[in-house]
Structures are given as C-alpha cells and as structure tokens.
Structure 1
Amino acid sequence: MTDQAGADGLPEPPAQRLTTRETAERLGVKPETVYAYVSRGQLSSNRAPGGRGSTFDAAEVDALARRTGRREPASPAGELAFRTGITLIESDRYYFRGVDAAELAGRHPYEEVAEWLWTGELRPGIRFTAPAEALAAARRTVGALPAHCGPTDRLRVAVVAAATADPLRFDLSREAVLGGARSLIPTLVAALPAAGGGGGSGDAARPDTAETTAPPGLARQLWPKLTARPAGEASLAVLDTALGLLIDHDLAASTLAARVAASARAHPYAVVSAGLGVLEGPLHGAASGLAHRMLAEVLERGGAAPVVADHLRTGRRVPGLGHRLYTGEDPRARALFDLLARIPQAAPALAAARDVVATTARHSPLHANVDLALAVLSVSSGMAAEAGETVFAISRTAGWIAHALEEYGERPLRMRPSGHYTGPRPPQPLPVAAGAPSQ
C-alpha cells in the first residue's frame, strides 16, 4: 500500500503542498528567505510537477512559523516592519504600552517612565544608581579623551568602559539586562564632565560619593553636565520631561541598529553602542544642534526672516521643522513648549522658535518637531549646541534596552535581508595590479 491508513482504517489524505510564494506569505518572509531556510536544513522541498519551482509541506511550514514566532506584518511601503509592544504612533500622538507618552512623561520622572517601558509596571520613587567600579572605569576613560571630543564621543567610550567592569554582561536574562540598564544610565551621566570643565581628567575623574550612595533624580544629575547655570525647578521639570518624551519613538534608525545587534545576541552594552553609533548622524540625534545654532542666529539677527531665507537660498532645510510620522505638530514639541512657556528666561528663544515656524509657513506648512523644542531649552539655559544630542542619547538608552529585551525573545539573526547585486556578472578575470605588464 502506498497510502498510510488512519485511525479509522481509511487512507490518510496526501499532505498539503505549498508553492514558494504561498510558503513565503505564510512565514511572512521573502521567497529568497524560504530557500535560505532550505539551505540551512530548516525546511525540505520537492520539485513541483513539471520541474518548475518547488513545493513545501504545509505542516512543516506551520511548524517553522511556530518556532520562529508569528509572521511579521507586511509593510505597504516595502520597508522593514517588526512586531513590537513598546511604542505606537497613531493620529499625531504616540503611546508607551498603550499609555499616552506625553501625559506619562509630564506626570512621572524619567526613571519611572523607563521602568514602565521595560516592565509595564509603575514603580514610584525609583532611582537608578551607578556602581562604584563601573563609574570609576567610565570616568577614567572619559577623562583620558582629548578636550575637543564631543559628548557622544564620551558616552560611547563610557559604555565600553562600563561593559568591561561588568563580568555578567553576557547574561541576557531579563533580570540581568534590567539590572545592568539601571546601572548603566546613571554611569553615563556621571561620567560626563561638568559643563565648562573641559574634557580633561579633572571633573570626569573625581569620584562623587553622593552619586553612588543617594542619587537624586537623573534630570538633576544631568543638568550640571549640560550648563553651568543653576537649575531652577521649572527648568529641571522641562529636562526631566524631555528625557521621558525621548525614551522611544518606534523603530527610529538608532533603534533599528540596536535591534539588529540584539538579534545577533550582542550584550546590552553593545546594543547601546550600536544605537549611539547611529544617533550621532545629523538627521537623527544631532539634529537638535542644527536647530540650536539656527535659533541663536535668529536671536542675534533680530528675526527669523533673514535666517530662514538664507537656508532656503542655499537649498538647506530649516532645522527643527516637520516630521515624517506627524502631519501636525510633534506632540513631544508641544509638551515641551507648554512647559517652556512657564519659564521667563526661555521667552526670547521660544518667541524665536515660533517666529521660525510662522516665517517658514509662508513657504511650506511645516510644524515644529522635538529638535526645535530642545533647541529652545538649550539656547535659553546657556547650554552648548550639542546638549540636545546628549539629552537624546541618555534618554534613548532606556528605549534601546526595551527593544533589546523584545528582540532577545525573538528568533536569533532574523534580520538578514538579501542584497540585490548590481555588480558585474561572474566569471570575471582576476584583477591585475595597476601598472603591471599584461600577460
């Protein structure tokens, strides 16, 4: 008998076979990936009748789908799309685990927002503490950098130094990752030199027992690293809210880099390093610095019109305006503008920002984004142009950790797109060194 008998003695129906396209759709991958599964021994295939293409056992495909997790949602634009339960951006608002992010950041300090993002639980009064050994290593390393180094340079080496002080960094269990995150973020803040202190070993190398025993909130720790001006409570509230607002924003470029690293099972410090490497680009974390310089120029020249005109004349986009995910004003900018309006010394910079928006609206209906709001904070508080980038990097570290935790629960190395080769077709002759005599 060629057919096996079932429990009722009747022949079992032949196994359902799927085409390559049907298999790819069921798995949520490209057809090329289906054949990659075959080459790795994760799927078996048979030649389709007539020798055109391959067919796959439906039960085997479904079993692979269960092992690798549910299929990813298709993206109509052909872009990468991953399932995530962290941030939703919808109808010009955004949400952390279903909660309005602007409201959450406005009512809770950064550490509590981070805990909500990581665990889905609110922990009132939680404070992050920098371990003495990691802090000492980070400060020594940061203190050895040349004075001209920027804050992101310092943060990158501080992450590496903190990693070397943590022998348990390769433990990817949830508890270990969260413990390391709660230590790493305050270590990064404490490793930065005080504003105006230069990049030498002085401030960055001195231990501070207050930071290792009874730390204040992270915003209060970060403020003196950004400006030499004293911190008023209203200004601290703006900084703390900014930290909370910027923790995550779906799959931004740096977050995608962090998830790729986590997909390869890199430890959390390496995940943060990957995020920092992308963040420094002028189209991402460094964008607030461009807005800072523009606002400073508007204040110096007495109005936005000549500054906006210069940008348009030279073909440059006006910094701090527009966002591909929002049709109206960035909700993060709106939340920060509301707080900045309560600070008298921020009034000139805030008026300059509104002048930029109004002037540009004559040419293009663009709305303010969070970079412009960060620029108002940095300009009005006597911070350097790079301050917004520092705030961004410190804040987003928590978001990268949240995404790493999600990615550690997915199939390893799932982010392996196929290259579309456009070079010369083989076989090509071996290359010959320039100037060598022809054979």
Structure 2
Amino acid sequence: MRDQEVTGPTGPAGPGDEGRRLSTKEAAELLGVKPETVYAYVSRGQLGSRREPGGRGSTFDAEEVTALAQRNRRDTGGSPSTGGELSVRTGITLIEDDRYYYRGVDATELAARHSYEEIAEWLWTGELRPGVLFSAPETAVTAARQAVDALPEHSGPTDRLRVAAIAASANDPLRFDLSENAVLGTARTLIPTLVAALPPMRYDPVDDGPLAHRLWTRLSGRIPDEVSLRALDAALGLLVDHDLAASTLAVRVAASARAHAYAAVSAGLGVLEGPLHGAASGLAHRLLLDVLEQGNAAPVVADELRAGRRVPGLGHRLYPGEDPRARALFALLKAVPGAGAALAAADDIVATTARHRPLHANIDLALAVLTVASGMPASAGETIFAIARSAGWIAHILEEYGERPLRMRPSGRYVGARPPQPLPG
C-alpha cells in the first residue's frame, strides 16, 4: 500500500467510524487486498467477522480493519517517519546488542557446535538434523560443470556460481513447484551442485562428505588438517544469514514476484559481487598480504587513508562494538597451524587504524586471515560468502513465499519534468 492516509470507500477512517461495519468488499478495498485475503486474515485470527441476521455475507468492524491496514503498511513499506526504509517481517535472524541470532538461538554458539548443513536445516525448518549431509544429482552437477568450464579463464567465483545455478535450474523441469517440500529439495541439491561446479584446486577433489570438506578442495591446493576444516565449516555457519543485507533483499524481491528458488538465488548472487558486500573480503585479503610483505601495517594503512579509502575489514554499521562473527572465527583461527603471522598482521591493522579512528575487526578481516593462512586466493572469501549465504537466501525465499505476492512494490517519487512536455526533436 502506498505511503498515504489510509482511506475507506467513503473517506478517511477515523473516530466517526466507531461501531460502523464494513462489507467484505469495503474491507478488501481498505486493506488493498482481494476479498479472499480478508477471510485469510479471519482464519489467522488477525481480524474478526460477524454475520448479520438476515445478511448475505460477513461484516467487519471498521476500526479493526483500519488498524490492520495501518499495521500492514508499517510492516511492508517505508514511511516518512522511518526515513523511507523498507521494513520486512522476518523470523529468521535478529541482530541486537552486538549479537545475532538464528531463530532466537545465538548464531555463534550454533556455528561452534554444529555443521553448516545442520545450521541450514535449522534456518529452513526450525529443526536440527545431526549429521545431515547434502548431495547433488549427477545430471545437475554435469550440466553445471559444463556451463562453468565454458566460461573464460578470468571469470570470477560469482560468475561461476551464477552460471552453475542457471545450468542446474535448466536441468530441473520441476523448478516451478514453489511448495515448501519442493523448495527444500531444491535447496539440499542446489548448494552442493554449486560447490561441485567450481574448478578444483587439487587433482583429487572431494565430492562427498561434509560440504566444507568439498569446498576446501575448490579453494586450496593444500591438504587440510581437521582444525582448518573446522574453521572453514564455522565460517560458513557464521555467514549463513545476516538479516536483510542487500543481496537478501534482492532475493526476497524475486521471491515476492514468485520467481523459483534457482532464479531468486541468482538474484542474490548478482548483488553479492559488489565490493561493498560479498567481495569485501577480497580487499581485506589483499590488504593483509601487503602488510605481511611490508612487515608493518603503518605504511599500508597510510596508503589507504591517503587515497581516501576505507580500511578494508574494519567496522560494521550493525555492530557499534565488536562483530560477533569475527570474534568467533578469530578464536578458531588461533588454533590453525600457520595462521599466527596472518593473525598478527590483522591485529596490527586494527591497532594502527585505531590511531586515526577506533574500529573493530569485522568478519571480512577474519575471513581474510582464514584464506591467507590456508593458501587460498583473494577471491576465496567471496566464494565462501556466496556458498554460505545461499542457505540463508533459501530461508528467506521460503518465508517470502508465505507472504502476499508482489508486496515489495515501493512507489517511485517522481522528480522529473512535469508534463505536458513537447515531443523531443
């Protein structure tokens, strides 16, 4: 509904409507929905109805309908009082007081005790499935690999993942089934398909077992130890979701238009590639390498500030204090063999920048320590981010499919030339 005064068929609803009853048609017009949706509100207990003696249909209290319309307006769109920001109801992730929660459970504790696949199932279904593993059909993997292999050699990780998602989609004739069970089935096969489609960094890639183990062989040529694999698995779990980040909003807009799950995930991958989002860890990776090469963070940080750039890997608008994701990942990285130098360089970056502006390390810097210490390329953090967040996107897709279609349709505020204007030329 547009940002305007809520009106009924006979004008603004207000004190004069006390005790007035509305027909189903009038209630639907006031709410901006179809008549059948009015009865859906009744069945959910959000609206009361009454059948008048001798009447042919139900009637609704005008004040109650007006209150529901106002709540819906707050829930589904911005207003001048909120700075025009979109507000979307969600029961997936809460960020509060420098902590964040998946369905009410501390996300860092979940990542410390459960695998990425288990956390994904928790987000999708509200249930933990200990030991769950995702697997991909061979036909989907073959199609995705062929599509990815056809890309130019310089293609980035998000290019490959987008193409893999499209190929997997074309291989699934049932992709337009938007029922919950069908979307869950898609999720459990799409994510491992994305991993399997990535070019391996070793001659013996892992194609079964925990997803983190499979992903490692696409990111590093080294043989991993258990501590490093645990750190990668935890990083995936920590990054599964983060409320309505830009890519997640794009996913929900696509789902609102009832795009199928593959297409909605592709929308998220398109937004993720920006340097202010999924690619930010690559900037932190390169910064870390520069500090390790120079042996001192001061000249490297000075160059960033001199160029008028933000120092990568520091600060987060949602956390005035410490980023809990970074804190959790750094704690695991301390036990990773060979990570000491990268951890010391990260500490040096934070301490050096604090002379100019005190900022805490964020997840991008922690992810950079993981990728540098593990012999991964700068693009590895972007890949980890994209694979991890795909599970969160699926949770948002499922949630959005339960909402009114096309509800994310903000009104444009036209600022161009007023008509009528003469024809050009």
Please indicate the TM-score interval, normalised by the length of the shorter structure: 0.7 to 0.9
Seen in structure 2, the aligned counterparts of structure 1 residues 223 and 271 have a Cα distance that, compared at 3 Å, is same
Q: Deviations over 1:156-189 (max 9, x none)?
A: 0000000011111100100000000000000000
Aligned partner of 2:167 in structure 1 is: 161
CA distance in 1, matches of 2:9, 2:190: 52
Aligned partner of 1:305 in structure 2 is: 298
CA distance in 2, matches of 1:378, 1:84: 32
Contact 2:316 2:362 in 1 (8 A): yes
Seen in structure 2, the aligned counterparts of structure 1 residues 18 and 358 have a Cα distance that, compared at 3 Å, is farther
Which AA in structure 1 matches 2:167? A
Aligned partner of 1:261 in structure 2 is: 254
SS of structure 2 residue aligned to 1:169: coil
Please state if 1:136 is matched with 2:166.
no
Q: Deviations over 1:54-113 (max 9, x none)?
A: xxx9639829958x9795187744311111000000000000000000000111000000
Q: Deviations over 1:173-212 (max 9, x none)?
A: 0000000000000000000001278xxxxx9xxxx8x73x
CA distance in 1, matches of 2:31, 2:163: 37
SS of structure 2 residue aligned to 1:95: strand
Which AA in structure 1 matches 2:316? H
List aligned pairs for 1:238-387, cutoff 5 A.
Answer: 238-387=231-380
CA distance in 1, matches of 2:393, 2:375: 29
SS of structure 2 residue aligned to 1:276: helix
Alignment counterpart, residue 421 of structure 1, candidates 409, 414, 418: 414
Deviation at 1:344, TM superposition (A): 2.9
Aligned partner of 2:86 in structure 1 is: 80
CA distance in 2, matches of 1:63, 1:168: 41
Seen in structure 2, the aligned counterparts of structure 1 residues 240 and 21 have a Cα distance that, compared at 3 Å, is farther
Please state if 1:217 is matched with 2:210.
yes
CA distance in 2, matches of 1:58, 1:389: 52
Which AA in structure 1 matches 2:400? E
Contact 1:69 1:411 in 2 (8 A): no
CA distance in 1, matches of 2:257, 2:216: 35
CA distance in 1, matches of 2:252, 2:155: 27
Q: Alignment length, in residue pairs?
A: 380
The gaps in structure 2 that reach 5 residues or longer are 1-7, 16-28, 39-59
4+ residue segments displaced more than 6 Å: 15-18
List aligned pairs for 1:39-188, cutoff 5 A.
Answer: 59=62, 62=65, 65=68, 72=75, 76-188=82-194
CA distance in 2, matches of 1:139, 1:117: 28
Contact 1:247 1:398 in 2 (8 A): yes
Please state if 1:400 is matched with 2:406.
no
Deviation at 1:384, TM superposition (A): 0.6
TM-score after normalising by structure 1: 0.81
Deviation at 1:17, TM superposition (A): 6.7
The gaps in structure 1 that reach 5 residues or longer are 1-14, 23-33, 44-56, 198-202, 433-439
CA distance in 1, matches of 2:32, 2:97: 38
CA distance in 1, matches of 2:408, 2:103: 24
- Aligned-CA RMSD value: 2.8
Seen in structure 2, the aligned counterparts of structure 1 residues 428 and 87 have a Cα distance that, compared at 3 Å, is same
Deviation at 1:19, TM superposition (A): 1.8
Q: Deviations over 1:110-156 (max 9, x none)?
A: 00000000000000010000111111100110111111111110000
CA distance in 2, matches of 1:106, 1:162: 31
Whose Rg is larger? 1
Contact 1:69 1:410 in 2 (8 A): no
Deviation at 1:217, TM superposition (A): 0.1
CA distance in 1, matches of 2:104, 2:259: 28
